[in-house]
Amino acid sequence: MRLPIYQVDAFTDSVFGGNPAAVVPLERWLPDPLLTAIAAENNLSETAFLVPAGDGFELRWFTPTVEVDLCGHATLASAFVVRALLRPGLGRVAFTTRKAGTLTVEQEGDRLVLDFPSRPPGPVDADPALFPGLGGAAPLEVLAARDYLVLYPDEAAVRALEPDFRILNHLDRAVIVTAPGSGGVDFVSRFFAPTHGIDEDPVTGSAHCTLVPYWAKRLGRARLEARQISRRGGALSCELAGDRVRMAGGAALYLEGVIHVPDAG
């Protein structure tokens, strides 16, 4: 069986930046073990699979080890593929998901804008392994939504972290670390998810579903500029809009081709 595949760098204006995602359009859903095997073979933080559904698409995301309930950069990459290659000129792409509701992506200028659910953090009893797993300076605060949200005093402290992923792999959640930004950036972050097969994710849209409501409340404004300070790095222009988070970023096509997989029958 031959399937088209695209690799798109998301939350960047050029290739070799942002977060790479594979996008595999399908005519129908294949068995989950096959989807998992494709994602593992791609060995990217996420592979997105999409199937036509009415005027839009149903969308699912897989890391190299598990299916996840929400993924920002692979949604951005999928919308880029739809608008540029599958349905050129389509103004608004609607994705139906299994656990995150309907997600939409629209073009605004030279960027794509994601409309995602807001997931504000709240108090949590942190796993005792969290702090030794992160290493570095002691954090100022720990909250949680889907993931831990760990606040540090400044960008230097976030950059200096050298996590022990063997320890973090035993946590029940992924970990967002964040601090105030500078030079026109409101906040910075990093994201660690070894429990999902991703030690450090380059740019994580879903993490901003928690980061944006946190920083909007802390800074007293809805529009925010964010930067994820992984090795590749990525920039997001964000807005808290009620119970939704809007995230804008660019995308660049790196690869298109065909993969050969066993016939699913």
Q: pLDDT tens digits for 242-256?
A: 999 999 999 999 999
Number of domains present in the structure of the chain:
2
Same domain, 19 and 92: yes
Selecting among 27, 41, 46, 200, the annotated active-site residue is 46
Q: What is the pLDDT of residue 136?
A: 77
Contacts 24+ apart (CB under 8 A), 138-145: 139/177, 143/214, 144/173, 145/119, 145/120, 145/121, 145/209, 145/210
Assigned token pair, 60? 């699912």
206 residue type, one letter: S
If asked whether residues 155 and 77 sit together in one domain, one would say no
Residues of the domain holding 149: 122-236
Residues 34 and 108 in one domain: yes
- DSSP-derived secondary structure letter, 208: H
Residue 257 — very low, low, confident or very high, per pLDDT cuts 50/70/90? Answer: very high
Structure confidence at residue 256 (pLDDT) = 97
Q: Give me the mean pLDDT over the 77-106 stretch.
A: 94
What pTM was computed for the model?
A: 0.92
Q: Do residue 103 and residue 126 come from a single domain?
A: no
At 90, the pLDDT band (50, 70, 90 cuts) reads: confident
The reply to whether 22 and 93 lie within a common domain is yes
Quote the mean pLDDT of the chain. 95
pLDDT tens readout for residues 163-190: 999 999 999 999 999 999 999 999 999 9
The pair of structure tokens assigned to 111 is 């960027």
Is the confidence at residue 265, as pLDDT, over 80? no
Tell me, what's the pLDDT at 11? 93
Output the pLDDT for position 264: 80
pLDDT (tens digit per residue) in 108-157: 988 999 999 999 999 999 999 999 999 978 899 999 999 999 999 999 99
Do both 85 and 14 map to the same domain?
A: yes
> Does some domain include residue 244?
no
Residue 92 lies in a domain: yes
Are both 74 and 91 inside the same structural domain? yes
Indicate whether 242 belongs to any domain.
no
Residue 243 counted as domain residue: no
Rg (CA), the chain: 18
Are residues 113 and 200 both part of a single domain? no
171 shares its domain with 133: yes
Residues 100 and 162 grouped into a single domain? no
Answer yes or no: is 241 within a domain.
Answer: no
Residue 36 has pLDDT above 90, yes or no: yes
pLDDT at 110: 87
The CATH number linked to 28 is 3.10.310.10
Per-residue model confidence as pLDDT tens digits over 37-64:
999 999 999 999 999 999 999 999 999 9
Tokens 């068995």, located at residue: 31
Inter-CA distances, 240 with 62, 71, 164, Å: 27, 18, 33
Residue 139 lies in a domain: yes
pLDDT value, residue 186: 98
Question: In this structure, what token pair is assigned to residue 254?
Answer: 């790196």
Concerning whether 46 is annotated as a catalytic residue, the answer is yes
Same-domain check for residues 87 and 172 = no
